[in-house]
Amino acid sequence: MAMHQLDLPLNNNENANLPSNYRARLIHLLSGDLDFHHKNSRYASHNFHAFPAKFPPQLPGVFIQALTAPGEAVLDPMMGSGTTILEAYLLGRRAVGFDIDPLARLITQVKVTPIDPEKIRAIGNNILTQAHYAVTQNCSELEEQLKHLWDSNTKKFVDYWFAPETQIELLALRNEIEKIEEPDIRAFFEVAFSAIIITKSGGVSLALDLAHTRPHRAKIIVTENNRGKITEVSSGKRFTTKILRSALEEFGKRYLQNLNGLVSSREGQIQPVLKYGNAQKLPLDAESIDLIVTSPPYASNAIDYMRAHKFSLVWLGHNIDELGKKRKQYVGGETTSDFTFEPLPPKTQAIVSNLSAVDSKKGQVLHRYYSEMTRVLREMYRVLKPGKASIVVVGSSIMRGIDTQTHQCLAEIGEAVGFEVPKIGIRNLDRNRRMMPAGTKINLDSQIQQRMHVEYVIGFYKPDHKISGDSK
C-alpha cells in the first residue's frame, strides 16, 4: 500500500499492536469483533436512560482510542443518548454533539455533567418527601392543576396513556423538580423522571411497549398491591396486562441508581459542546473535526423516536402539536410533500425504483431517506479533516418485502460525495439488550430476518490529497 496517509502516534498499550498507518488501522478495526456481547455497558452514566438503537459504548470507544489523540475533536451529529459523546469525554477528547430531539439533548447533557452527589442525595430526598406530602395531603389541588395543565390534544394524550393515580404522582414530582433553581441539578432529575416513563415496557405509563413503532395500551391493569391477581389473567390476555407501579417509588429508585453513575470532573477532561441541531446542516467550520462516530435512524421511520419520547416530553413542558411538527424533521420520516429530493447514484436509485414499482409512496419515502443521508454525508465530509474517518453504524430495513440495503447505498452515496469506503464491518445484535424495532423471534429460514439482526459499521475515509493524489 502506498504510504500516503497520516501515521498515528502509538500512544497507549491498547494501540500497540495496531498498524501505524491511519487507513490500515481503520480497516483493521472494522475487521475485528464489533459485537461486544458480554461486555459491561453500564459503567459511568451510560445507563441513565433507555434509548432506542443505542450502541454499546465499546463501539465508539475503540475507534476513538485508536484513531484520535487526547484533545482532538470527536463529533456525533445525531448523538441520541450520547454514547459517543460520553466515551469521547471520558477519554479526554473534545466531544461535539447535535440532535434535533429535545430529549436526546437533555439526556446527553446530564450524562457528561459532573455534579456533587451529596447535593443530589439531599435534593432527591426533599423531592420525594414533598411529592409524597402533596399526593397524600393535597391531592385535590393536584387534580385541579391537572385539569388546566395542557391544551386539549395534549390532555387527551395524557389521559389515554396514564392512569389517573399515576398522573397525580407524576405531577407532584414534576412540581418539585420545577422548583430546583440550579439548571444542571434540575436536568439530572428531569432525566431520572423521564427514565421511569420511557422504558422498553412503557415504564409507569399504560403503554405495554415503547420499543415498537406503535405502542399498545394495557387493557387490564394490576396495581402493585394486588400483583398476585396477574395469575388469574388467561394467557391470551397476559399480553394486554400491566402492573401499575408507583411513580414515586420508581423515581426514588431511579435517581439513586443514576447518582451512582454520575461522572466526576477529572484533569484532562474537556466539557463537550452539545447543541440542538440538524445533521444535514451543521454549524461547524470545514475541516474542524478529527473523527465522527454516529448511527443515523433506520429508513422509513422503523424506530419512531418522537412517538416514544413524547411520553415524557409532555410532562417536561412540551405539547403534542409542537412535538408532532418536530417529528417531521427527523431523518427517515414519512412525509414527502414539499421535500427537496437529491439525485441518487445508480445502485441506490435502482433500489428506490424497485420499491417504487411495488409501492410508489414507499418508494418516495425511501428516496427521502437517501436524500437526507446524502446531505448528512456531505456535511460529514465537509467538517472532517482530510486523512480522517467517519464511522457510521446502520441497519437495513425491509419495505414491502424489499431489503433497502442501507449499508451498500450509504457507501455508494458516501463515495459520490468524495469519501472512500475501504471496509464495511458487520456486527451481530444482542437483541436481549437493545430497544429495537423488529420482533425478537428469529426465523432462521428467512434471510431478511437474519439481515435484520445485524448492523453494518461503515468506515468512510476522507482522502488527503495534499499528502498524495493517489488515495487507493
Q: Which residues bind ligand SAM (CB under 6 A)?
A: 51, 53-55, 77-78, 80-81, 83, 98-101, 104, 278-280, 295-297, 305, 329-331
Q: Are 44 and 261 in contact (CB under 8 A)?
A: yes
| C-alpha distances out from residue 297 to 77, 106, 153, 224, Å | 12, 19, 27, 36
CB 212 within 8 A of CB 437: yes
CB of 303 to ligand SAM, least distance (A): 7
**Min. distance of Cβ 337 from ligand SAM in angstroms?**
18
Smallest gap, in angstroms, from Cβ of residue 402 to ligand SAM? 22
Q: How far is the CB of 102 from ligand SAM (least distance, A)?
A: 9
Which residue's CB is nearer to ligand SAM, number 302 or number 421? 302
Taking the least distance from each CB to ligand SAM, the nearer of 98 and 193 is: 98
As a whole number of angstroms, the longest Cα–Cα distance in the chain is 76
**To which residue does cell 449499508 refer?**
407
Distance (Å, rounded) from C-alpha 417 to C-alpha 212? 33
CA atoms within 13 A on the CB side of 448: 10
* Residue closer to ligand SAM, measured from CB, 173 or 187: 187
For ligand SAM, give the closer residue by CB, 53 or 320.
53
Cell output for 1: 500500500
Q: How far is the CB of 306 from ligand SAM (least distance, A)?
A: 8
Q: How far is the CB of 329 from ligand SAM (least distance, A)?
A: 6
Using the minimum distance from each CB to ligand SAM, give the nearer residue, 53 or 123: 53
Give residue number: closest CB to ligand SAM.
80
Rounded to whole angstroms, the Cα distance separating 383 from 282 reads: 8
CA angle 420, 425, 426 (to 5 degrees): 145
DSSP letter (8 states) at residue 207: B
Which of 317, 298, 325 shows the shortest CA–CA distance to 410?
298
| 30 vs 303, beta carbon nearer ligand SAM | 303
The C-alpha angle 124, 255, 170, rounded to 5 degrees, equals 75
In the complex, minimum distance from the CB of residue 323 to ligand SAM, in angstroms, rounded to a whole number: 12
| Closer to ligand SAM by Cβ: residue 84 or 269 | 84
